[in-house]
Amino acid sequence: QSALTQPRSVSGSPGQSVTISCTGTSSDVGGYNYVSWYQHHPGKAPKFMIYDVDKRPSGVPDRFSGSKSGNTASLTVSGLQAEDEADYYCCSYAGSYTWVFGGGTKLTVL
Amino acid sequence: EVQVVESGGGLVQPGGSLRLSCAASGFTFRRYWMRWVRQAPGKGLEWVANIKQDGSEKYYVDSVKGRFTISRDNAKNSLYLQMDNLRADDTAVYYCATGYCDSNDCYYAFEHWGQGTLVTVSS
């Protein structure tokens, strides 16, 4: 149950796109299409952004998109806005009703 | 409006116990898997435990097996986490989260989260 690997930080200017990677193993990211992503403003409740690799729950802007290739999942934020500045966490199902999260990525909007 | 509100955190000595509660409202609690997730200071999120809708199945991260017990009371729309034999590395903000279901199915994700309750294990 090792944490998924995410870059510590990414940044972009308003209107640009950024991509956050999330690397696991064949026992989690690579083994299941059950990757989800969460946006977290410190001190607040995390917000559910993506599920099943690339699906958006209702209310999440289509600027947020997910994908996966092999053992690496990615979250792309297009048309960056100031309010997108937050910590982002990936999460993968790891079998037997267990989950593993990534270490988190701080997105800075320059 | 969906709400999940954690309570019960505080300062406890190593080896001590604490019981966290999560009060849920605004949705059909008995329909959802429920989960606990924690975040240690300066660290990322860590899944801690899950419990099935009827409480018949429970799963834990290895580091808390045998020490933590997840439970629920569907009549009270409440989730609990009994934490025994606490260690310094259990210090974290503990979040209650729901599974995710739409009108068709339930999915492997965490939809609604509370703002967390802080547990500090220190002498």
Q: Given a cut of 90, is residue A68 above it in pLDDT?
A: yes
Average pLDDT over residues A74-90: 97
Predicted confidence (pLDDT) at residue A6 exceeds the cutoff of 90: yes
**CA angle at B100 for the pair B94 and B102, rounded to the nearest 5°:** 155
Q: Give the pLDDT band of residue A31 (cuts 50, 70, 90).
A: very high
Across the interface, do B114 and A45 touch by the CB < 8 Å criterion?
A: yes
Write A24-30 long-range contacts (CB < 8 A, 24+): A24/A71, A24/A72, A24/A73, A24/A92, A24/A100, A25/A71, A26/A71, A27/A94, A27/A95, A28/A4, A28/A92, A28/A93, A28/A94, A28/A95, A28/A100, A29/A4, A29/A68, A29/A71, A29/A72, A29/A73, A29/A92, A30/A70, A30/A71
Q: What is the mean pLDDT of residues A92-103?
A: 95
Q: What is the pLDDT of residue A28?
A: 96
Task: Give me the residues paired with residue B68 across strands.
Answer: B83
pLDDT at B105: 86
Mean pLDDT of A80-90: 97
Q: Looking at residue A49, what is its pLDDT?
A: 97
Asked if A97 and B57 come within 8 Å (Cβ–Cβ), the reply is yes
Q: How far is the CA of B26 from the CAs of A11, A101, B33, B83, B98, in angstroms?
A: 36, 27, 15, 27, 12
Here the tokens at position B59 are 């799963």
Question: Which residues 42-101 of A have a C-beta within 8 angstroms of B?
Answer: 43-48, 51-52, 57, 89, 91, 93, 96-101
The residue length of chain B stands at 123
pLDDT at B106: 86
Mean pLDDT, residues A66-72 taken together: 97
pLDDT at A1 over 80: no
Spatial distance between the Cα atoms of A23 and A71, rounded to a whole number of angstroms: 6
Confidence check: pLDDT of A19 > 80: yes
Task: Extract the residue ranges of chain B whose pLDDT is less than 70.
Answer: none
CB–CB contacts below 8 A, A to B = 75
- Closest-CA distance, B8 to chain A, in angstroms, reads 17
For chain A, the average pLDDT equals 96
Q: Which amino acid is at B121?
A: V
